[in-house]
Chains A and B, each alone.
Chain A
């Protein structure tokens, strides 16, 4: 196992360019070209774009959506489309965390409690999906349920807790000049990528996603897989909720709804990130690295549009165009690979 890991890591390092040329079709080249064009255009036109500070801002903005997208990538890769309940899981989690913090339990207990609730929510959805429920409809119902539970618990009020509190290091602290949330994003993204590439579980995710019949024939039912990936996605949502709550020292169920960040609601932003990164939405193809890059790409574009003084309308429009563009390119490139099941 260890030697595998080291060997794999060496291959990954040396063969990166080779693989880029061999494996990745025109799509990734397109995305990278697009990214470069945007980058250069931004560099030329926006005066404050190319500063270290702005670069840090971009990554920090990408972090929250990026963590969720990394979690959702597991679901997408395993062929279960996506969860429409990402932001609602986060909403319930943020209420849970803030209520627990304001009741005087420490950070650790609050964190574990939040994670436990997210785990139950994820496992329940995963079980229903694994039994054969349509992921979209199941999570649409779960979204209503979780959001309602969160509103009911908090009475639709803002729950706040006083500074100083035990979670400040996560929300506003920084390490080596990078905010801790950014570091958490990098750590989670790297871990997820390693898990997907070099562990048995990671390979199983790809197998179930790429060919469900083959997975079933070799004893990898979607039932267990759906539960696992939904738990991962839910835990990532809950982590984002905790980080966000630690940042603002308060919670409300609507924090992740329409007004969050810049571009509409969080769930769709996360799905957009996964898609723009170039993951196959039908499963079996893609990686969390792509999702992380997608998050940074969207964040870069958004940042540049802010620097150019655009309102929220054009910015949401830009993200929407990016999603649709990525869907169309992807469908054309991968045509026939797994069309119409």
Chain B
């Protein structure tokens, strides 16, 4: 019991995320008889496959103190490429091409962000538009479609009761990235440049390496998400998938990242994504139109931001009070000593 208490105190963000996830799941599970069933769980995991990747990518970016706005465009580009080339080149090479391009885009972005020393939002808002243009170009302004539907069938086959190949792949990806972030030097560098960039640079971290790694992973995740969406539905649109950014950001913030960077982790990303998925799926069950889901997500993000900002301001006030208190505590004896010295000395 004591162990649990300590864990909660040490990981209060994660504990809050888990609590929120359980609450959302519990609410929909109790109010809707179809929610806590085998089929719904499968559907939630299917959604998790895409949104989880985006949430993971954004979590890594925010841990590094940056944010990748071009994630939706990158995913759309990968989806268009994968769908377009599956018929002519076969699924495997199409997927590889799409993933390769998405990762290469991420690497180039990361390199330029580190080289030019601009904030990632500045560059990625440009590439957001650029990649959308490239995707439109690649799709020839049309909705591209598959003719052979064996690939979508394979992606959505059920395995082990609850999983599909896509969701297994994504879960494996989560585990790999989690191990990478926690147990390798490169992963720790990413935390370092997010939490304390100046200190990390002073300590000899080369800004380029972690930045390129983060954006490469981000690009890969976005690409994989796009490929899964595209091949699962058999169609892809160049202007689609823009909603991923909001959903992914909400997931990352519920998972406990801080906009200042250096906080949060892969477990948080998974739980945050699951919470968003529960909310999404539950709202769909209650026949909520899509724009209302966006409304709820917006509200959720605003609330999380308000909490974070509020707690930061509270922290600052506490720290200030403590410093002032320390100063007072030291100044008291000092003044007394000086007064005594003045009294002792003859005028």
Residues of A within 8 A of B (CB): 81-82, 128, 131-134, 136-138, 140-149, 151-152, 156, 253, 258, 263-265, 268, 271-272, 275, 281-282, 311-321, 323-324, 326-328, 331-332, 335, 339-340
Q: Is the CB of A148 within 8 A of B296?
A: yes
Question: Are A314 and B137 CB-contacts (below 8 A) given A137-B301, A268-B125, A327-B122?
Answer: yes
Q: Does B63 contact A (CB under 8 A)?
A: no
The docked-state distance in angstroms from the alpha carbon of A128 to that of B302 is: 9
The docked-state distance in angstroms from the alpha carbon of A285 to that of B13 is: 38
Q: CB-CB < 8 A to A275: which residues of B?
A: 122, 125-126
Contact of A264 among B129, B294, B297, B308 (CB under 8 A): B129
Q: CB-CB < 8 A to B69: which residues of A?
A: 136
Q: Is the CB of B294 within 8 A of A132?
A: no
The docked-state distance in angstroms from the alpha carbon of A283 to that of B180 is: 36
Q: Does B295 contact A (CB under 8 A)?
A: yes
Q: Does B9 contact A (CB under 8 A)?
A: no
The docked-state distance in angstroms from the alpha carbon of A146 to that of B141 is: 29
Q: CB-CB < 8 A to A258: which residues of B?
A: 239, 242
Question: Are A321 and B130 CB-contacts (below 8 A) given A148-B298, A264-B239?
Answer: yes
Q: Is the CB of A320 within 8 A of B137?
A: no
Residues 303-327 of B, flagged 1 when their CB comes within 8 A of A and 0 if not, give 0011011101100000000000000
Q: Which residue of B lies closest to A275 (CB)?
A: B126
User: What number of B residues sit within 8 Å (CB to CB) of A?
Assistant: 55
Question: Are A324 and B130 CB-contacts (below 8 A) given A131-B313, A137-B253?
Answer: yes
> What are some 20 contacts across the A-B interface (CB < 8 A)?
A128-B305, A134-B305, A137-B67, A142-B298, A142-B302, A144-B297, A152-B291, A272-B126, A281-B122, A282-B119, A313-B140, A313-B238, A317-B137, A319-B129, A319-B133, A320-B128, A320-B132, A327-B123, A328-B112, A332-B116
Most chain B CB inside 10 Å of its own CB: which residue of A141, A313, A339: A141
Contact of A81 among B121, B134, B139, B309 (CB under 8 A): B121
The docked-state distance in angstroms from the alpha carbon of A339 to that of B136 is: 34
Q: Is the CB of A324 within 8 A of B137?
A: no
Question: Are A137 and B249 CB-contacts (below 8 A) given A148-B291, A324-B126?
Answer: yes
Q: Is the CB of A313 within 8 A of B133?
A: yes
Q: Does B117 contact A (CB under 8 A)?
A: yes
Q: Is the CB of B302 within 8 A of A141?
A: yes
Q: Does B279 contact A (CB under 8 A)?
A: no
Task: Tell me whether chain A's interface is mostly helix, strand or loop, or mixed.
Answer: helix
Q: Which residue of A lies closest to B293 (CB)?
A: A148
Q: Is the CB of A143 within 8 A of B129?
A: no
Q: Is the CB of A331 within 8 A of B129?
A: no
Closest-CB distance, A320 to chain B (whole angstroms): 3
Contact of A144 among B139, B141, B298 (CB under 8 A): B298
Most chain B CB inside 10 Å of its own CB: which residue of A132, A146, A320, A331: A320
Q: Is the CB of A327 within 8 A of B126?
A: yes
Contact of B129 among A137, A138, A156, A263 (CB under 8 A): A263
Closest-CB distance, B134 to chain A (whole angstroms): 6
List B residues 229-261 near A (Cβ within 8 Å).
238-239, 242, 245-246, 249-250, 253, 259
Q: Does B299 contact A (CB under 8 A)?
A: yes
Q: CB-CB < 8 A to B292: which residues of A?
A: 148, 151-152
Q: CB-CB < 8 A to A264: which residues of B?
A: 129, 132-133, 239
Q: CB-CB < 8 A to A327: which residues of B?
A: 116, 118, 122-123, 126
Q: CB-CB < 8 A to B263: which residues of A?
A: none
Q: Is the CB of A128 within 8 A of B128?
A: no
Q: Is the CB of A145 within 8 A of B299?
A: yes
Q: Is the CB of B123 within 8 A of A144?
A: no
Most chain A CB inside 10 Å of its own CB: which residue of B134, B139, B249, B305: B305
The docked-state distance in angstroms from the alpha carbon of A146 to that of B295 is: 7
Q: Is the CB of B312 within 8 A of A132?
A: yes
Q: CB-CB < 8 A to B166: which residues of A?
A: none
The docked-state distance in angstroms from the alpha carbon of A148 to that of B290 is: 9
Most chain B CB inside 10 Å of its own CB: which residue of A136, A144, A146, A324: A144
3 closest Cβ pairs, A-B complex: A148-B295, A144-B298, A320-B130
Contact of A145 among B253, B302, B308, B312 (CB under 8 A): B302
Q: Is the CB of B259 within 8 A of A137?
A: yes
List B residues 88-128 near A (Cβ within 8 Å).
112, 116-119, 121-123, 125-128
Question: Are A316 and B253 CB-contacts (below 8 A) given A141-B301, A144-B294, A145-B299?
Answer: no
Closest-CB distance, B234 to chain A (whole angstroms): 21
Q: Is the CB of B136 within 8 A of A317?
A: yes
Q: Is the CB of A311 within 8 A of B299?
A: no
Q: Is the CB of A320 within 8 A of B67?
A: no
Q: Which residue of A lies closest to B112 (CB)?
A: A328
Besides A145-B299, A265-B242, 20 other A-B contacts (C-beta < 8 A):
A132-B309, A132-B313, A134-B305, A137-B301, A144-B299, A147-B298, A148-B294, A151-B292, A152-B292, A263-B133, A275-B125, A281-B119, A312-B141, A318-B133, A319-B133, A320-B133, A320-B134, A321-B133, A326-B126, A340-B117
Question: Are A320 and B127 CB-contacts (below 8 A) given A151-B289, A156-B289, A339-B117?
Answer: yes
